[in-house]
A and B are shown apart, each in its own frame.
Chain A
Amino acid sequence: MARSQPASRPATPALQLDLALQLLRQAGHALPEGTPGSEAWLQSLIDSLVDMSSRDALTGLANRRSFELALAREIDRVARAGEPALLLALDIDHFKSVNDTHGHASGDLVLKAVAKVLLECVRPMDMVARVGGEEFAIVMPNCAPAFGEAVAERVRLRVEALPVSIGLSQQIHVSVSIGGAFAPQWVRSSPALWIERADIQLYRAKAQGRNRVCLEPSAVSVVSAEEKALLFGISQFQDIE
């Protein structure tokens, strides 16, 4: 506390970095290289701290903070480039009973295993985040609405098939409920509203019995060639595909 220091203490150029270095060591991060105190060394230290503060400590996934940043960036891109993007909200089913039955250490193993499998079944450009206790989210840039269901279903099946070892001879299985919403082309949104829409679908998936995928009905603003043909009269509108 600054208050406990005497007010007359002279300003010192020495930075208090012990705790920062200790935290990095504890998190398994490489320590900064170069001459301690040099600009390069400090930048490297800051980079490591930034990296650490954007990750979830248990699973190593992006944390809620960096997830929301990524979401805002994605919305900007969608609005400019007109590419659709999918947001999936995932929740491990009956996670509380895993904790209650097998203990919190086992719960942590489940979270880590699920995090690992989620990372394995998405593209490198996708962001997987742990946004709450047993809640995860995946942002998928440039994901066409036609593939949304298949992508989400693949994630669900991979988790369902995953054996989690929680002891020398004990394995358990968990499942996830998944809700998804697209940030449709040329429809601007905000991170909060996008999350809300995916969450609504997640609640639907839970209410329908869990271990399932519910996506927001999408592409409502897209006018198909058939619709245009009827709108302008078929003779006027030629399908050139």
Chain B
Amino acid sequence: MSAAPSKARNTKAAARARITAVTSGKGGVGKTFVSCNLAAALARQGRRVLVLDADLGLANLDVMLNLAPKITLHDVFTGKSSLQDAILPAPGGFSALLAGSGMVEYSRMTPEVRDQLLKVIETVAPRYDHVILDTGAGISDVVLYAVSLADQVLVVVTPEPTSMTDAYATIKVLASTQSRVQVQLVVNQTRRHGEGRAVCLQLQQVVDRFVNPGLAAPVRLDLLGQVPLDIAVRDSVLRRQLLMESLPGSPAALAVAAVATRLLD
């Protein structure tokens, strides 16, 4: 990672967490699923991980984790509560900072949201090895800003044309507005072996043809892994359990664990 300030990522003594923004363009492709199961997989490997619900308008990390937080980011933003009190232990052995509902007023980018989010991330970064920002759908200013705070950006995409189009649009915007040279890709809900690789190559081809010629430094897509379509995922989401906890041996859980390992490389 060109943006990484330190090479000492793999040691526990890292001065500051590696910040990963998880985004997708299109909603409903498994952003939050990937964010929290990736966090659990990293936690299993001994990392201190915090997941921050950066989908300020339509937060649903609490639903996914079956948590009913009394204190949320909203209380931190409004000064009603300390940041420390808002950080909750989540199933899976990581920490979570939930946006909760009532954040609609923060779903639009204002200098206030910008400052608050930056302050929160700067405060938590020294205390963890990984901070995962689970962003909202779309390419709103809040999403773009959250991504701009991250060392690396992970785009979740499914093999569906609508998801690929929105992932491509996201990559294009990130390349032109944030000069990203590397974008990590997780292809979710694949139906056959090698489909993730194919989606990545297809996206890279269009990026090379239409995006890279206009850039100072070309964008390279890095496939972190593919997560197979797995009925266990649906079941765990419906039961509001973390797949990594309830069925760690399922194909999808094993695939997310492999993504976590690649992330640590």
Which residues does A use to contact B, with CB under 8 Å? Answer: 186-190, 192-193, 217, 220-224, 226-228, 230-232
Contact = CB atoms under 8 A, between A and B. Distances in A.
Contact of A223 (B107, B109, B165): B165
Interface stretch (B32-40, B95-103, B204-212, B247-255): B204-212
Contacts of B138: 186-188
Given A230-B205, A231-B202, A231-B206, A189 B168 contact: no
B199 to A, nearest CB: 10
Contact of A222 (B169, B202, B205): B169
Contact of A231 (B107, B108, B111, B203): B203
Interface residues of B, number: 25
- Determine chain A's interface SS by DSSP, over half rule: loop
A31 B247 CA distance: 77
The residue among A187, A223, A226, A231 with the most chain B CB atoms within 10 A of its own CB is A231
A227 B176 contact: no
Nearest to B167: A231
Residue among B110, B203, B206 with most chain A CB within 10 A: B206
A220 B172 CA distance: 7
20 contacts: A187-B138, A187-B139, A188-B138, A188-B141, A189-B109, A189-B141, A190-B108, A190-B111, A192-B110, A220-B172, A220-B173, A220-B176, A222-B169, A223-B165, A230-B206, A230-B209, A231-B164, A231-B165, A232-B161, A232-B164
A187 B140 contact: yes
Contacts, number: 58
A226 B209 CA distance: 10
B139 A223 contact: no
A181 to B, nearest CB: 12
* Pairs of residues from A and B, 10 with the lowest C-beta to C-beta distance, nearest first: A188-B140, A220-B176, A230-B206, A231-B206, A190-B110, A221-B169, A190-B109, A221-B173, A220-B173, A223-B169
A221 B139 contact: yes
A224 B210 CA distance: 10
Given A188-B109, A190-B110, A227-B210, A217 B176 contact: yes
Given A220-B177, A230-B205, A232-B161, A192 B168 contact: no
A224 B110 CA distance: 30
Contacts of A186: 138-139
Nearest to A237: B161
Contacts of B173: 220-221
Interface string B157-176: 00001001100110011001
Contacts of A224: 210
Nearest to B25: A221
A34 to B, nearest CB: 41
A221 B161 contact: no
Contacts of B205: 230
B177 A188 contact: no
Nearest to A188: B140
Contacts of A192: 110-111
Most buried by B among A187, A188, A224: A188
A189 B111 CA distance: 11
Contacts of B164: 231-232
Contacts of B110: 190, 192
Interface in B139-157: 139-142
Contacts of B142: 188
